[in-house]
Amino acid sequence: MTQFLQAVVLGLLIGGVYALMASGLTLIFGVMRIINIAQGAFLILVAMITWWLWHETGIDPILASVITAPLMFGFGWVVHRLLISRVSGESSSMSILLTFGFAMVIEGVLDITAGNRFRSATPSYFDESFRIGSVSLPKAQVFGFLAAVLVLAALYYVLTRTWTGRAIRAATQNPSGAALVGVGAAGTAALAFALGSATTGVGGSILSVLYPFFPASHYDWISRLLGIVVLGGMGSLPGALIGAGILGLAETLTATYGSLSWSTLVFYVVIMVVLLIRPQGLFGARLREDAA
């Protein structure tokens, strides 16, 4: 029983972090219908920057997201203006190729500048735990989870309570309807891409503490994120949250009762099963045609 409870708690903690990482991917897809394959590479880039900041200054890696999140917001905005905007309106395969290529560029640059070896930020608390009864809660996971929840709450606030957020939601739900009330497509897309990138600014910092990483780790991460958003429904933010929770649980339960090496396979199995049974995912973003 304790073992089960332990697995569930760990699954939910990691699910929260997955939710944050996937929220950016699904937000960008929702507004632009672009699958940003480079989202995983953004995470690793941030993890590397965080590691470096921590190594050089001793700053807490998770707190370093105060620096990396705005940095990635600006980075995302520039990347959208210089690269992504050029394929807007093209077929989705063009954007997949472009962002995949961009991910490889980031990987290559990290390879050359930082070297192809595993890294991990290890603040003082990284091997300590809180204990509640017989269940232990690793401090790093708890802090990571709290940071993720905080950022998701902020994202929710921006999307539902501000004009910027309303414009993003309007453009997601009905691009031509948004144009009719004066919401500019290009500006909204740049903002959504910048916001989506900013979430990796926090997600990557958390990643640097929770998981060892090296430049090519982004393939593994984008696969996980795709598994989550495909399960939840591409473009749906609530879907990404639920999908992340389910896959976090599935991963830790598989690791607990099966084996660690099988646990990452869960994501690929989920992608295949969802595509076969319910291609639109649990909360599939309804297209304009069926939204009536």
Partner 1 sequence: MLSMKAVFAGYGGGNVLQSVDLECAEQTITCIVGPNGAGKSTVLRVISGLLRPSAGEITMDGEAIGDQAPDEILRRGITQVPQSHALFPAMSVHENVLMGGYLIRKNRTLLRERLDMVKDRVPLVASRAGDHAGNLSGGQRRMVEIARCLMLDPKLILLDEPSLGLDPRSLAGVADLIHALHQEGTTVLLVEQNVRLGLGLATHGVVMEGGKVRLTGTAAAVKDDPEIASLYLGGTKAPPLNSPPAGQGTETTSV
Using CB under 8 A, list all residues that contact partner 1.
163, 166-167, 169-170, 173-174, 176-184, 286, 288, 291-292
Closest distance to partner 1 from the beta carbon of 281 (Å): 15
Closest distance to partner 1 from the beta carbon of 267 (Å): 27
> Which long-range contacts (C-beta less than 8 Å, at least 24 apart) are formed by 50-56?
50/121, 50/204, 50/205, 50/208, 51/119, 51/120, 51/121, 51/208, 52/114, 54/121, 54/123, 54/208, 55/121
Task: Please identify, using beta-carbon distances, which residue of 81 and 166 lies nearer to partner 1.
Answer: 166
Closest distance to partner 1 from the beta carbon of 167 (Å): 7
How many residues in the chain?
292
CA distances from 62 to 145, 195, 215 (A): 10, 18, 20
Beta-bridge mates of residue 137: 130
Beta-bridge mates of residue 129: 138
Task: Please identify, using beta-carbon distances, which residue of 37 and 155 lies nearer to partner 1.
Answer: 155
Closest distance to partner 1 from the beta carbon of 244 (Å): 20
Give the alpha-carbon dihedral of 255, 256, 257, 263, to 10 degrees.
Answer: -10
Task: Please identify, using beta-carbon distances, which residue of 33 and 286 lies nearer to partner 1.
Answer: 286
Task: Please identify, using beta-carbon distances, which residue of 108 and 177 lies nearer to partner 1.
Answer: 177
Task: Please identify, using beta-carbon distances, which residue of 145 and 283 lies nearer to partner 1.
Answer: 283
Closest distance to partner 1 from the beta carbon of 149 (Å): 23
